[in-house]
A = this chain, B = another copy of it.
Amino acid sequence: MADKDLRERIKEVAVEHFNTNGYHGTTIRNIAKDVNCSLPMIYYYYKNKKELFDEIIKKEYFNLLEKQASLLKIDNVIDFYTKFIYDLNSLSNYDKQVYRLGIKVYLSFDGDEELMNLMDEWEKSILPRHREILKPHMKNVNNEKAVVRTLVHLLETMIENIVVKNRYLPEDEIREEISIVLQSCG
């Protein structure tokens, strides 16, 4: 009966529900209804609700973050960061929702400490990573640290606008804002 792999379809629908209604607001019954399968099928593929949720965050969300982080090809930093953010606009709907859900978990709406710690660790790696990227382009800059921090902060907001608030950010606006922060770099 199943056109696509059922296990996958369950996960896709689950992402949608967790996103819209939160962990506690999401019910296995509603997921099953949208997937068009019976309720116990979800328990056939996932041990329980929590495991379904965890798989989305631990596998899907972190996969996404790592894929993004590996896109490092730099000549012009402003071009690079502009592309980095602009490409988020064209993420698949599913990826966008996974991203969105990850950010929401990070902001601890449903208070899962274990997942939050995972994310805290990830966040600690962000500043040094961008520092490395920017270092060669900031010879003549004295407040290097602050510039990197400001840039990362700005990136965060733009990511949030695109992914969480589901807005489209035009490339020239992205470029403008990044340029304002990086105007002292080449």
Contacts and interface: CB of A to CB of B under 8 A. Distances in A.
**Interface band, chain A:** 20 to 34
Contacts of A158: 153
Given A154-B154, A158-B153, A181-B150, A22 B176 contact: no
Nearest to A153: B157
A54 interface: no
A180 B21 contact: no
A20 B149 CA distance: 28
A110 B17 CA distance: 10
Contact of A107 (B150, B153, B156, B165): B165
Say how many copies of this protein the assembly contains.
2
A111 B176 contact: no
A174 B1 CA distance: 58
Interface string A20-45: 11111100000000000000000000
B149 A173 contact: yes
Interface in A137-169: 143, 146-147, 149-150, 153-154, 156-158, 160-161, 164-165
A60 interface: no
Given A21-B24, A21-B111, A150 B177 contact: yes
Contacts of A157: 153-154, 156-157
Contact of A22 (B22, B146, B161): B22
A161 to B, nearest CB: 8
Interface centre among A109, A161, A180, by most chain B C-beta atoms within 10 angstroms, is A109
Contacts of A108: 20
Interface string A80-123: 00000000000000000000000110011111000000000000
Given A22-B23, A24-B21, A157-B154, A149 B177 contact: yes
Given A22-B22, A24-B24, A109-B109, 5 more contacts: A20-B108, A25-B110, A146-B176, A150-B177, A183-B183
